[in-house]
Amino acid sequence: MARKKRSRSIVREFDEYFGSGTLEDWQRLCHDVGLDETPSSITQCRRAPKTVHINIRDLLDAVKQGRQPQRFANVHQLVQYTVSTRKFYPINQVKEMGPVKALLRRML
């Protein structure tokens, strides 16, 4: 029960952080994940985070603290970190074209 509640909480927290999905929301996400260039369209913003390997829960914590989240050199390092810290994002809550989809990586 506590795990389900925590999962709903992280989903709600990300939705509040991201906003309604405007270009500005997508550009803020690109900036917050540490991309050097800010894409000029939503389509470009959707593609850009696929080059960055970060933990979504760490992203939310970093934003609250006004810092950049830890970036991993590759998916393998991100997976090792996520498994060891158990900082998963609930896969059943991912929207098809949403921002979380752009940040998700295959874990197992």
User: Is the confidence at residue 31, as pLDDT, over 60?
Assistant: yes
Q: What is the pLDDT of residue 79?
A: 94
Query: DSSP alpha helices (H): ranges in the chain?
Result: 2-18, 23-32, 42-47, 56-65, 75-85, 99-103
Quote the DSSP letter at residue 53. Answer: B
Name the residue with higher pLDDT: 7 or 67.
67
User: Is the confidence at residue 108, as pLDDT, over 70?
Assistant: no
Burial 33-68 (b: 16+ CB within 10 A, else e): bebeeebeeeeebbebbeebbbbbbbbbebbeeeee
Q: What is the pLDDT of residue 105?
A: 81
* pLDDT band, very low/low/confident/very high, at 9 (cuts 50, 70, 90): confident
Query: DSSP 3-state assignment of 104?
Result: coil
Q: What pTM did the predictor assign?
A: 0.84
